[in-house]
A and B are shown apart, each in its own frame.
Chain A
Amino acid sequence: QVHLVQSGAEVKKPGASVKVSCKASGYTFTTYYLHWLRQAPGQGLEWMAVINPNSGSTTYAHNFQGRVTMTRDTSTSTVYMEMSSLRSEDTAVYYCARDDLQYDSSEFREMRYFDYWGQGTLVTVSS
């Protein structure tokens, strides 16, 4: 069955960088896009970035362009999210999630949704 297993909690100082991993298993890694999302304490969900594991192409949310880099290692079925210039507002639980889809023949495009999630990684930014 599908599993997304993330790396452990991190504590970083403001201005530092953090790299979080997400190892996929139970399916063909290159077949499904993978995303990173985050959730600040007591807050809602925020989408950050997506990667096509087959090609390595990425798309970032406006709020994270230039500060977040998403990469993948097909040999280990792992995706990574690296965030630089950390600030206290980046304290959050970071999730990876798999993107499933259905083809919408009425609009000739793909309808996507997150079908599997990692367990989350708490990143704390504090001096």
Chain B
Amino acid sequence: DIQMTQSPSSLSASVGDRVTITCRAGQSISIYLSWYQQKPGKAPKLLIYGASSLQSGVPSRFSGSGSGTDFTLTISNLQPEDFATYYCHQSYSSRTFGQGTKVEIK
């Protein structure tokens, strides 16, 4: 299985901040990378697919980039509703997730 490693595991930020989360794949996965947001007690929600394509209905302050092994999720102008845990996911070979990044209020 392809290992996905996210960093950091957690971060503290303030409303209005720009936040960047990194995801590294154990081997090249082209752009077969998606990002999900999960709030406590809720199912994950798709934010980004194909490394950089914004899912319909997701605010434009969310953006993704990268290809091969290194990817980033950026949240510009962090909003109160963005405090959550974020997961990267690869579908290039089987299906695996990063361990998650918890975005907390500073």
Given A114-B44, A115-B55, A117-B43, the answer on whether A44 and B95 have CB atoms closer than 8 Å is no
Residues of B within 8 A of A111 (CB): 30-32, 49-50, 91
Report the Cα distance A104→B33, complex, angstroms.
13
Among A35, A61, A112, find the residue whose CB has the most chain B CB atoms closer than 10 A: A112
Is the pair A114, B46 in contact by a Cβ cutoff of 8 Å?
yes
Chain B contributes a number of interface residues (CB within 8 A of A) equal to 25
Which A residues between 33 and 52 are near B, CB-CB below 8 angstroms?
A: 35, 44-47, 50
Q: Which A residues lie at the B interface, using CB under 8 A?
A: 35, 44-47, 50, 61-62, 95, 100, 102, 104, 106-107, 111-115, 117-120
Report the Cα distance A6→B94, complex, angstroms.
24
- A interface, over-half SS: strand
Residues of B within 8 A of A120 (CB): 42-43
Closest 6 A-B residue pairs measured CB to CB? A117-B43, A47-B95, A113-B34, A113-B49, A112-B91, A45-B97
Is the pair A44, B89 in contact by a Cβ cutoff of 8 Å?
no
Residues of A within 8 A of B42 (CB): 120
Is the pair B94, A61 in contact by a Cβ cutoff of 8 Å?
yes
Given A95-B43, A113-B49, A117-B44, the answer on whether A44 and B98 have CB atoms closer than 8 Å is yes
8 A-B pairs, CB-CB below 8 angstroms? A45-B100, A95-B44, A111-B31, A111-B50, A113-B91, A114-B89, A115-B49, A117-B44
